[in-house]
Amino acid sequence: MDGAFEERLKDMQVTGKITKDFLDYILHGMSAEERETLYKTARETSQETFGKTVYLRGLIEFTNYCRNDCYYCGIRCGNRNVSRYRLTEEQILNCCDKGAELGFRTFVLQGGEDPYYTDDRICGIVRAIKQAHPDCAVTLSIGEKEYESYQRFYDAGADRYLLRHETANEEHYAMLHPENLSGAHRKQCLRDLKKIGFQVGCGIMVGSPYQTTGHIYEDIIFMQELQPHMIGIGPFLAHKATPFKDEKDGSAEQTIALLAVLRLLFPKVLLPATTALGTADALGREKGILAGANVIMPNLSPSDVRDKYLLYDGKICTGEEAAECNACLRARMERIGYKVVSDRGDHPDFMKG
Ligand code: 5AD
Ligand code: FES
């Protein structure tokens, strides 16, 4: 390697920008040696802010009912073969209690867009969790809502909101979603959430059908404008009961390379090594952390519903209990020299109020 690659990485860090050509080179052309250099640079950048620590987010998949029909998603309403479930407030609180005992300080309530959970119900659940666990952050990941609803969730005590934008390109968005959904509305939701005061997370699937480097470049431009606190990315993985059943899976390697790029462009962002990455590659989460990611999101859902929340085929950890994943992940992180911490793990620049 002649040093030019390292220079370009430095340039990315200094300017906070990447060219479409260099992004394409990183995703499709770099050598094994350059890949190592990229990962090392991203890892060191992450360590400058976060040290060798990893934050935990306990994921509670509280409903797999969804009114939407996204072409990629296993729990789309058009999939009649899903056994649908909803967790009660009591079940959700039990998951949080168990999680808190295991050292979790963030709970992510994720679900399909399920009209059963009215704003009143969501607010009630958020308040109950915050009352039982005032030292914990509550993250919602329940899709597109009205500004007023988001404001109510925030006022009830929700701290963060995850809403992947999926793709910043309108045409690409339309290839992944039915007509009633628009990329413009999704982006507006993210801007609304940020304005209200949530720590927000956006993100994409890497290798989603029809995705080009140009699309990923547009995603980066959108993120630079939004300045999210978190960026969730994972490989697209086909689900057998969706229109995309025959589409090619996204690659773990490209996902990891993009994680590293995002770390260099957004040095302080919260960046999970996702379950989808751990599904595409058995050591995907470890590799993600070693390429600049700093968050892991283990499942806290009750074990009897875990195999019903399948967005893609092959999902890992559907047979494990919360305590098992917790112990497994702590050991996995220690094996690579990292430590899982019991900390809310807010964005370093974030202050609520
Ligand atoms: N493969 C990978 N990720 C998926 N998601 C949904 N379906 C799939 C799939 N088939 C992701 C979407 C969504 C998040 C909750 O999960 O990006 O926003
Ligand atoms: Fe679930 Fe390893 S993380 S078993």
pLDDT in tens, 7-39: 999 999 999 999 999 999 999 999 999 999 999
321 lines ligand 2 (CB under 6 A): no
The H or E element that residue 110 is part of is: strand 106-111
Query: Which atom of ligand 1 has the smallest separation from the CA of 203?
Result: 17
pLDDT tens-digit map of 75-115: 999 999 999 999 999 999 999 999 999 999 999 999 999 99
Query: Which atom of ligand 2 has the smallest separation from the CA of 325?
Result: 1
Task: For residue 236, tell me if it sits in a domain.
Answer: yes
Task: For residue 94, tell me if it sits in a domain.
Answer: yes
3 state DSSP class of 256: helix
Give the separation between CA 309 and CA 85, rounded to whole angstroms. 9
Task: Check pLDDT > 90 for residue 48.
Answer: yes
Task: Check pLDDT > 80 for residue 351.
Answer: no
Task: For residue 213, tell me if it sits in a domain.
Answer: yes
The H or E element that residue 339 is part of is: strand 339-341
Identify the residues whose C-beta falls under 6 Å from ligand 1. 72-73, 164, 166, 205, 234, 236-237, 239, 276, 311-312
Task: Check pLDDT > 90 for residue 192.
Answer: yes
Task: For residue 154, tell me if it sits in a domain.
Answer: yes
Nearest protein Cα to ligand 2, atom 1:
325
Task: Check pLDDT > 60 for residue 353.
Answer: no
Please state the domain count of the chain. Answer: 1
The residues that bridge with 140 in the sheet, in sequence order, are 109, 161
Task: For residue 348, tell me if it sits in a domain.
Answer: no
CB 187 within 8 A of CB 168: yes
Query: Which atom of ligand 2 has the smallest separation from the CA of 285?
Result: 3
Q: Among 289, 318, 324, name the best residue to mutate to test ligand 2's pocket (greatest count of ligand atoms within 8 A of Cβ).
A: 324
pLDDT for the residue numbered 350:
87
Return the CA Rg of the chain: 19
Q: What is the mean pLDDT of residues 140-160?
A: 98
Q: Domain of 171?
A: 4-341
The DSSP call for residue 109 is E
Task: For residue 42, tell me if it sits in a domain.
Answer: yes
Query: Which atom of ligand 2 has the smallest separation from the CA of 328?
Result: 2
- The angle subtended at Cα 160 by Cα 186 and Cα 45, nearest 5°, is 95
Residue partners of 68: CB distance under 8 A and separation at least 6: 76, 77, 112, 113, 143, 177, 178, 181
Task: Check pLDDT > 80 for residue 2.
Answer: no
Nearest protein Cα to ligand 2, atom 3:
325
- Number of the ligand closest to the Cα of 306: 2
CATH number for the domain that contains residue 133: 3.20.20.70
| Percent of the chain residues topping a pLDDT of 70 | 99
- What is the residue type of 301? S
Task: Check pLDDT > 80 for residue 207.
Answer: yes
pLDDT tens-digit map of 226-262: 999 999 999 999 999 999 999 999 999 999 999 999 9
| Percent of the chain residues topping a pLDDT of 90 | 98
The residue to which tokens 């005061």 are assigned: 197
Residue 138 tokens read as 């509550």
Task: For residue 145, tell me if it sits in a domain.
Answer: yes
More confident residue, 350 or 162: 162
Q: What is the mean pLDDT of residues 212-221?
A: 98
Task: For residue 351, tell me if it sits in a domain.
Answer: no
